[in-house]
């Protein structure tokens, strides 16, 4: 009898499909457009010089690979859309969460797909220790963040659906 394989989603995925915020999707799309329409065309003349710099070749190849991979990500991604009336108070991917950080200061974090995490200082990869601890927690809860430097308590002060609420 054939074995059934159980698909386990990676952080930031649902049913094997990347889950991106609308803003993250749009920013990644603009990044691909910038690479394809501005950065690569600027580099092409430098590639045919007789004494070309191989660092330019490497950067051209890196940018091409980044644009290709990001286009595949976008083609396979779903945009997160949460019905505010259906929210049960648990933190989900893409929600903004106000927390008390390890140093005692309050700050905002937004657990997102790992490929979206670099877009701003608020976003954190769904695989990051703080995101793992926060997902499914609720406002008022204190969760333990199992960080490489040691575990620390993180209080959830509030949740904001900005950027993931379904449009009406």
Kindly report, residue by residue over 60-84, the tens digit of the pLDDT.
999 999 999 999 999 999 999 888 8
pLDDT greater than 50 at residue 139: yes
Residue extents of the structural domains in the chain: 22-79, 84-160
Residues with Cβ within 8 Å of residue 95, at least 6 apart in sequence: 82, 110, 111, 159, 160, 161, 164
pLDDT for the residue numbered 74: 98
Query: pLDDT tens across 70-126, in order?
Result: 999 999 999 998 888 888 889 999 999 999 998 999 999 999 999 999 999 999 999
Q: What is the separation, in whole angstroms, between the first and last Cα of the chain?
A: 49
Chain centroid offset of residue 117 CA:
4
- CATH class of the 84-160 domain in this structure: alpha beta
Residue with tokens 């379904």: 166
């Amino acid at each position: 009898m054939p074995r059934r394989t159980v698909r386990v989603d990676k952080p930031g995925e649902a049913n094997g499909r990347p889950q991106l915020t609308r803003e993250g999707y749009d920013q990644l799309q603009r990044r691909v457009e910038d690479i394809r329409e501005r950065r690569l065309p600027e580099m092409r003349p430098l590639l045919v010089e007789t004494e070309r710099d191989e660092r330019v070749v490497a950067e051209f190849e890196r940018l091409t690979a980044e644009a290709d991979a990001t286009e595949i990500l976008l083609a396979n991604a779903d945009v997160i859309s949460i019905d505010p009336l259906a929210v049960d108070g648990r933190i989900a991917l893409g929600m903004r969460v106000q927390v008390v950080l390890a140093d005692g200061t309050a700050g905002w974090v937004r657990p997102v797909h790992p490929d979206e995490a670099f877009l701003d200082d608020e976003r954190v990869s769904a695989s990051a220790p703080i995101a793992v601890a926060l997902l499914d927690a609720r406002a008022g809860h204190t969760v333990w963040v199992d960080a490489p430097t040691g575990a620390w308590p993180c209080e959830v002060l509030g949740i904001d659906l900005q950027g993931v609420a379904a449009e009406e």
